[in-house]
A and B are shown apart, each in its own frame.
Chain A
Amino acid sequence: MRILVIEDDAVLLDGLKVGLGLSGFAVDTVNTISDAFEALASDRFDAIVLDRMLPDGSGLDLLRTIRSGGNRTPVLLLTAKDEVTDRIDGLDAGADDYLGKPFDLDEVSARLRAITRRAEGRARSELKWSDLALDPASMTVTRNGNTVSLSRREFAILLTLMESPTTIHSKQVLEERLYGWQEEIESNTIEVHVHKLRAKLGAPLIETVRGVGYRMGRA
């Protein structure tokens, strides 16, 4: 899942980038509203983590602007202002969830998974396809009850495919969802990961639609 974190405190921003990365998110970071607009204009994110007070303005203004522009990306608002009225203002401005500082890294991950799940219209966090089950929270994949050990990238690709199993995901979309801006991507990276996934789960599970991309196949 690709996340944009908008926060001006450098230490916190760094902690979120590394910490959410450890939880399987691909994290991009910006520290001003103007940079955030640029990032949102050029890329698609699965969720946004937004600080309320930014050096060049209010996070709520940014939120209102992108919502009025039709952007429906789920937003988790981070704020040091933790009064009821602040929370109401944040939610009314278009935030999907709200977290007061300081927070627990796991809670940020959980809330991000929750708001993306809601945005996709799913009720349960666990994803199922055929005899395969994937739990985003614990980053585990089981097949007939047996755990399958996957790397972080393999897990992320499988998660993306299982979120909308019948959709065809292009190589470019998968790359975007897996990697932040600063990360170097080899041209055949996705192919290598898909190859390893097929080796672990059985070839028919991931179907190649030639010239277009990948989708889940009948095992």
Chain B
Amino acid sequence: MMRSIRIRLFFILLAATGAVWLLAVLWTYLSTQHEVERVLDARLTEAARMVSSLITDHRIDVAAAVEAAKGSELQTSFDMPAGDYSRQLSCQIWSLQGDLVSRSESAPNASLADHEQGFAEKIVNGERWRVYAVVNPALGVRVLVGDNIEIRERLVGDVIKGQLVPALAILPILAGLIWFSVGRGLAPLNRIAATLSLRSAQELHSLDDSGAPPEVRPLLQSLNALFQRVQEARDREKTFIAYAAHELKTPLAGLKTQAQVALRSDSNEVRDRALSQISTSVDRTSRLVRQLIDLAAVDSLEAASAPEVVDLADLVKDLVSEMNSLRSARDITVATEIGHGLRFEVANKTLLRLALRNIIENALQYTPTGSEVRVLGARTNSGLIIDVVDQGPGIAKDEEARIMERFHRGTLAEGHGSGLGLPIVEMALTKLGGRLDFVRTGNDGFCVRMRIPAM
């Protein structure tokens, strides 16, 4: 499961803010280091030159010059917090022969530098020094002015600390602000959730997306589309139930009337006739109920993703034996002309079965008593053709469109269909990607042709 968006956003924002901060600190560190180096190096140069020029003028002796140089510390460079920077500068004056002429108080006795002139770094008594050397050829001395690098680093460290400490102190406040802001930002989602949770199962009208933020709008639109689909499915169901109830009322009225006739009549003949009418009507009504169930089944079935293999001859044999009572009652012969072992793949076996069953049942129902019904199956380039041919009156040309409407019964045929058979067939075929045609073959009878595309 995904974590709450609020928590997710909170951590993402906190991490992003933290990373930006760390980068800023790193940048400050590097630039401070650079700047400190530049400024302090400039000071070293200046201090060394000053000492050198002071002793050249003979105005002060070397020792005093060193002290003077120390006092020229550049106090304005950095506004530094606490920390002892007073012993930062050290000065040594060496004769060119290599004797220590003089040194400042903080300077070590050992030479701060081995090089002739300019900048260099050296470790003296375990301390690292940055030293500037200048040679005074007139007096024959070399002036060395050095900075303790540790002190320089402490300077940079103090600057960084000055930044980090308040940042860490602010961190919890920042976290709180982020948490609150994310919550505020997600408020539209919460509002939608609240609206939805208050809905009853009947409320399927669209959500208003006019005031919604653009990020939420696609979600709302998808939800609205879903609502609409659910509404349509439910309307279909409602219509179906109403129709089904309606269609069952007429046979029920017939049954009741015949039952009352049977109860009321003293004549055995009338009573027997009424009872046989009841029996016929019960059969017919059972068929209607079965077809209603078929219709609901076809409605809910979908073409499967994996094709199923069907042996057409077996399927037809199965269906015909299922309807054997109807067949023998009307003394009908069923002839099948299907290529031996005609097996093919179909997207959904049940859909094909329901479609074929209703076509064959129609043929058995409407072909004249004692006649023949033929079932032909053949493979073509584009798929499969199944013809069911009967000798009945078929369907009037101008009625072909209406015959697909539920509960429309053909006017040519005598008898008592439910008006559901062909709608079931058509719906099943549509789901299989196939189609239904009526072919009038003259003397040959009426042919209902199913075309099913190859998978």
Per-residue interface assignment for chain B, residues 282 to 293, with 1 indicating a CB less than 8 Å from any chain A CB and 0 otherwise: 001000000000
Chain B residue nearest to A108 (CB atoms) is B257
Task: Determine if B416 is an interface residue (Cβ-Cβ < 8 Å).
Answer: yes
Task: Determine if A10 is an interface residue (Cβ-Cβ < 8 Å).
Answer: yes
Instruction: Please indicate the chain A residues that have their CB under 8 angstroms from the CB of B254 in the complex.
Output: 9, 11-12, 14-15
Instruction: Please indicate the chain A residues that have their CB under 8 angstroms from the CB of B280 in the complex.
Output: 11
Per-residue interface assignment for chain A, residues 1 to 45, with 1 indicating a CB less than 8 Å from any chain B CB and 0 otherwise: 000000001111011101100100000000000000000000000
Instruction: Give CA–CA (A127, B281) in the complex, Å.
Output: 39
Task: Determine if A134 is an interface residue (Cβ-Cβ < 8 Å).
Answer: no
Instruction: Give CA–CA (A103, B255) in the complex, Å.
Output: 10
Instruction: Please indicate the chain B residues that have their CB under 8 angstroms from the CB of A81 in the complex.
Output: 246
Chain B residue nearest to A19 (CB atoms) is B261
Instruction: Give CA–CA (A9, B251) in the complex, Å.
Output: 7
Instruction: Give CA–CA (A15, B254) in the complex, Å.
Output: 6
Per-residue interface assignment for chain A, residues 101 to 122, with 1 indicating a CB less than 8 Å from any chain B CB and 0 otherwise: 1111110000000000000000
Whether A11 contacts B246 by the Cβ 8 Å rule is no
Instruction: Please indicate the chain A residues that have their CB under 8 angstroms from the CB of B247 in the complex.
Output: 80
Instruction: Please indicate the chain B residues that have their CB under 8 angstroms from the CB of A101 in the complex.
Output: 249-250, 252-253
Please provide the chain B residues from 270 to 284 with a CB less than 8 Å away from any CB of chain A in the complex: 270, 273-274, 277-278, 280-281, 284
User: Are A103 and B253 also in contact (CB < 8 A) when A56-B411, A80-B246, A80-B247 are?
Assistant: yes
Whether B253 contacts A78 by the Cβ 8 Å rule is yes
Please provide the chain B residues from 231 to 253 with a CB less than 8 Å away from any CB of chain A in the complex: 246-247, 249-253
Instruction: Please indicate the chain B residues that have their CB under 8 angstroms from the CB of A103 in the complex.
Output: 253, 256-257
Task: Determine if A204 is an interface residue (Cβ-Cβ < 8 Å).
Answer: no
Chain A residue nearest to B265 (CB atoms) is A22
Instruction: Give CA–CA (A192, B261) in the complex, Å.
Output: 28
Whether A11 contacts B277 by the Cβ 8 Å rule is yes
By secondary structure, the B interface counts as: helix
Instruction: Select which of B249, B264, B270, B281 is within 8 A of A11 by beta carbon.
Output: B281
Question: How many residues on chain B are close to A (CB under 8 Å)?
Answer: 27
Please provide the chain B residues from 202 to 223 with a CB less than 8 Å away from any CB of chain A in the complex: none
Per-residue interface assignment for chain B, residues 398 to 435, with 1 indicating a CB less than 8 Å from any chain A CB and 0 otherwise: 00000000000101000010000000000000000000
Q: How many A-B residue pairs have CB under 8 A?
A: 77
Nearest CB on A from B261, distance (A): 5
Whether B409 contacts A16 by the Cβ 8 Å rule is no
Task: Determine if A202 is an interface residue (Cβ-Cβ < 8 Å).
Answer: no
Most chain B beta carbons < 10 A, residue from A55, A101, A103, A106: A101
For the side of the interface on A, what is the size category? 20 to 34
Whether B255 contacts A11 by the Cβ 8 Å rule is yes
User: Are A18 and B274 also in contact (CB < 8 A) when A9-B254, A55-B409, A105-B261 are?
Assistant: yes
Whether A16 contacts B264 by the Cβ 8 Å rule is no
Instruction: Give CA–CA (A16, B261) in the complex, Å.
Output: 9
Per-residue interface assignment for chain B, residues 92 to 116, with 1 indicating a CB less than 8 Å from any chain A CB and 0 otherwise: 0000000000000000000000000
User: Are A80 and B249 also in contact (CB < 8 A) when A11-B277, A11-B281, A15-B274 are?
Assistant: yes
Nearest CB on A from B105, distance (A): 114
Instruction: Please indicate the chain A residues that have their CB under 8 angstroms from the CB of B250 in the complex.
Output: 9, 12, 80, 101
Whether B277 contacts A14 by the Cβ 8 Å rule is yes
Instruction: Give CA–CA (A18, B261) in the complex, Å.
Output: 7
Whether A9 contacts B416 by the Cβ 8 Å rule is yes
Instruction: Select which of B246, B257, B411 is within 8 A of A16 by beta carbon.
Output: B257
Nearest CB on A from B229, distance (A): 27
Instruction: Please indicate the chain A residues that have their CB under 8 angstroms from the CB of B246 in the complex.
Output: 80-81
Task: Determine if B31 is an interface residue (Cβ-Cβ < 8 Å).
Answer: no
Instruction: Please indicate the chain B residues that have their CB under 8 angstroms from the CB of A16 in the complex.
Output: 257
Whether A102 contacts B253 by the Cβ 8 Å rule is yes
Instruction: Give CA–CA (A75, B270) in the complex, Å.
Output: 27
User: Are A22 and B264 also in contact (CB < 8 A) when A9-B416, A102-B249 are?
Assistant: yes
Task: Determine if B45 is an interface residue (Cβ-Cβ < 8 Å).
Answer: no
Instruction: Please indicate the chain B residues that have their CB under 8 angstroms from the CB of A106 in the complex.
Output: 260
User: Are A102 and B255 also in contact (CB < 8 A) when A11-B277, A11-B280 are?
Assistant: yes
User: Are A102 and B256 also in contact (CB < 8 A) when A11-B281, A18-B261 are?
Assistant: yes
Instruction: Give CA–CA (A22, B260) in the complex, Å.
Output: 11
Instruction: Give CA–CA (A136, B48) in the complex, Å.
Output: 143
Task: Determine if B258 is an interface residue (Cβ-Cβ < 8 Å).
Answer: yes
List 7 extra interface pairs beyond A16-B257, A105-B264, CB under 8 A: A10-B416, A12-B250, A14-B258, A15-B254, A15-B277, A19-B264, A22-B265
A-B contacts, 23 of them at CB < 8 A, read A9-B251, A9-B253, A9-B254, A11-B251, A11-B254, A11-B258, A11-B277, A11-B284, A12-B253, A12-B257, A14-B254, A15-B258, A15-B277, A19-B260, A22-B264, A78-B253, A80-B246, A101-B253, A102-B257, A104-B256, A104-B260, A105-B257, A105-B260
B residues sitting closer than 8 Å to A (CB atoms) are 246-247, 249-258, 260-261, 264-265, 270, 273-274, 277-278, 280-281, 284, 409, 411, 416
A residues sitting closer than 8 Å to B (CB atoms) are 9-12, 14-16, 18-19, 22, 55-56, 78, 80-82, 100-106
Task: Please list the 8 inter-chain residue pairs (A to B) with the smallest Cβ-Cβ separation, ordered nearest first.
Answer: A15-B257, A12-B254, A11-B254, A80-B249, A102-B253, A101-B253, A101-B249, A102-B252
